[in-house]
Amino acid sequence: MYHNPVLLHKSIEDLITNPDGTYVDVTFGGGGHSREILKKLSPKGRLFSFDQDLDALENKIDDERFTLINQNFRFLENSLLSFGVSAVDGVLADLGVSSHQFDVETRGFSTRSDAPLDMRMNVRQQLDAKKVVNKYEEEDLANLFYQYGELRDSRKIARQIVQQRLIKPIKSTQELKDIFHYIPPPKRNKYFAQIFQAIRIEVNQELEALKEMLQQSYRVLKPEGRLVVISYHSLEDRLVKRFLKNGMFEGEPERDIYGNFTKVFTLLQNKATVPDEKEIEENSRARSAKMRTGIKN
Beta strand 88-94 pairing with 22-25: parallel
- Tell me the β-bridge partners of 91: 24, 227
Is residue 31 a known part of a binding site?
Answer: yes
Is residue 174 a known part of a binding site?
Answer: no
Q: Contact 198/145 with Cβ under 8 angstroms?
A: yes
Is residue 32 a known part of a binding site?
Answer: yes
Is residue 73 a known part of a binding site?
Answer: yes
Is residue 45 a known part of a binding site?
Answer: no
Question: Which residues neighbour 257 within 8 Å (Cβ) at sequence distance 6 or greater?
Answer: none
Q: Point out the annotated binding site for S-adenosyl-L-methionine.
A: 31-33, 51, 73, 94, 101
